[in-house]
Amino acid sequence: MKNDKDLKLIAPNFKMGKVNLDALIPREDFEVKEENKINLGASINTIDVNGLKANSLFYAILRKPDFQRETNEWEPKKIVGLIESFINGDLIPSLILWHSSGDYIFAIDGAHRLSAILAWINDDYGDGAISKAFFENIPEEQSKIAEQTRNLVNNRVGPYGQYELASTSPKSILPSIVKNSRLLAIRAFPLQWVAGNAEKAEQSFLTINQEATPINPTEKKLIESRHKPNCIAARAIRRSGTGHQYWSHFEEDKQNRIKQIAKEINDLIFVPPYKTPVKSLEFPIAGNQNSGSSLSVILNFVNISNGINPQKESEIKDDKTGDDTLIYLEKCKKMAQRIRSTESFSLGLHPAIYLYSKEGNYKPVSLYALIDFTSELEKNKELIKKFIDFREKFEKVIFDYDYFIPQIVRKHRSGMKAYPFIKDFYISIIKGLSDKKDEAAIIQELVKDEKFNYLTTNPKLEQQDDEETSRDFSVSAKSAIVIKEAIENALRCKICKGLIDSKSITIDHIQRKSEGGLGIIDNGQIAHPYCNTTYKN
């Protein structure tokens, strides 16, 4: 058995990512109507490993609430630590369960603890048979973390399969595993039960989880508003239309359309996957799909794309048919395409300029501002013309002064409050450029404006001091070097001279076809879709 110091031997590039165990306990609606009510009788007080195998009777009826946060918050060493504690008989908090009026048992508290043991028993750390059936397509990052976790568990504890063999073939198994298998035979999770109906169980869930690991505002909103179209749309986009079907009560045709559009949106905003250190300018527009904040980013993306006023979000009605969810998804899809795609109306806004810092760090607030900004451009034909006219210079200004964005966020104390001011910041720059002012004059005038007079032009305030004293390049420094070099040599639209992303390249006739232009190499140039189809004409 190995210790934590052996992580680099097990996985040389080991990163403490989060392990996705969300598939191991199926979700179910608390309010599901069951015809046959069973009598629980005397509740069991413990559950052992035999009851947690995929083919066990207990596992067959085990569920977690459909609104439960994703079971993906634990790092590999925390999972192996829980398994070790379980085998050794260390004190583990009781699982809190609720028996529904039908045939299901819901995990009210302890889903992560239970999932860690389920992962070990069923050899599924987010990439096994259960997870493959649930997710359909396992992301590369999820697979890598799963394999790292499996290696760590196998070296520290040993595969569960060997514990089973220890009773019949002890001579072929390590003595330490044979010894631990005898301990495992008498280990079990202690259970507590919540009494009452679905409403009481849901309240217990909220109370317990708020007191333990507090539910963040997004998770709480998704729980309380789980039948609203914006929340259903966000969950569909998060898993590319796979995983638990929060839209399963809609008609089949609408279910299929929701899954299809959600997958299209997911591809638009999360492909290519985000990787560090940065090796190219290939960035997703919504950051890391597997980060803890991705669901919040997606929900905000849905809301802003649909013009939802945060003050009136509570007025959104539940979606009983799926029609509203489809409307929300279609608007999100169009917005994602407008930001970056080859659709004729796409501006092809390069993520490296608009959505990431010079060090390659994703800025969610910049996505919210970009949605607001593109919506403004779509409504204002004069503004969009000025934007294209001065796009090259505009992008240089916002790249040179990208450190203004965190200053704006700090001023307004949250990204959701700050993003309209970032949009105004962009529009002020365009106005200055259209008035024939240079970059220095625009910034000088901007910081005198009452709306932005708190901004400082000292970029040092946004940098980490330790990077200037270290002899080794940090991940941020490596990324910054790549981004700087890549932007200096990046492809540009031949019409507006702005940066052009690989997912937004169209081929334009220099001499129009209507004027006799031929489809030959010398008559072709790369261009943004909107520049090619609308601005040029």
Question: For a pLDDT cut of 70, what percent of the chain falls above it?
Answer: 91
Dist. CA 4–CA 336, nearest whole Å: 43
What pLDDT does 473 receive? 81
Q: What single DSSP character describes residue 356?
A: B
- Taking residues 151-167, what's their average pLDDT? 93
pLDDT of 393-432, one tens digit each? 999 999 999 999 999 999 998 889 999 999 999 999 999 9
Which has the higher per-residue pLDDT, 235 or 221?
235
Question: Per residue in 30-83, pLDDT tens?
Answer: 765 444 444 444 578 999 999 999 899 999 999 998 877 788 889 999 999 999
Enumerate the β-bridge partners of residue 96: 109, 192
CA distance 282 to 340: 12
Question: What pLDDT sits at residue 362?
Answer: 94
Examine the pLDDT at 161 and tell me if it is beyond 50. Answer: yes
The answer to whether the beta carbons of residues 523 and 419 sit under 8 Å apart is no
Q: Percent of the chain at pLDDT above 90?
A: 62
Residue 275's pLDDT is 85
Distance CA 194, CA 191 (A): 10
**pLDDT tens column, 78-91:** 999 999 999 998 88
Give the pLDDT confidence score for residue 71 in this predicted structure.
87
Q: Decide the pairing of beta strands 524-527 and 506-509.
A: antiparallel
Residue 380, C-beta contacts closer than 8 angstroms, at least 6 positions apart: none
- pLDDT at residue number 171: 87
Q: Could you report the per-residue pLDDT of 347-396, keeping only the tens digit for each? A: 999 999 999 999 999 999 999 999 999 999 999 999 999 999 999 999 99
- CB hemisphere CA count around 43 (13 angstroms): 14
Angle of helix 229-238 versus helix 217-224 axis, rounded to 10: 120
3-class state of residue 19 by DSSP: strand
Q: What are the helix (H) ranges across 12-171?
A: 57-61, 76-88, 111-121, 129-135, 140-156, 160-165
Residue pair 32/102 in contact by the 8 Å Cβ criterion: yes
Is the model's pLDDT at 1 over the cut of 50?
no
Whole-number pLDDT of residue 12: 40
Helical packing angle, 76-88 and 140-156, nearest 10°? 30
Dihedral sign, Cα of residue 204, residue 210, residue 212, residue 218: positive
Q: What is the CA radius of gyration of the chain?
A: 27
Q: What mean pLDDT, rounded, does the chain reach?
A: 88
Choose between 292 and 399: higher pLDDT.
399
Torsion sign across C-alpha atoms 340, 341, 343, 349 = positive
Q: Of the ranges 138-142, 176-180, 296-300, 521-525, which one carries the lowest mean pLDDT score?
A: 138-142
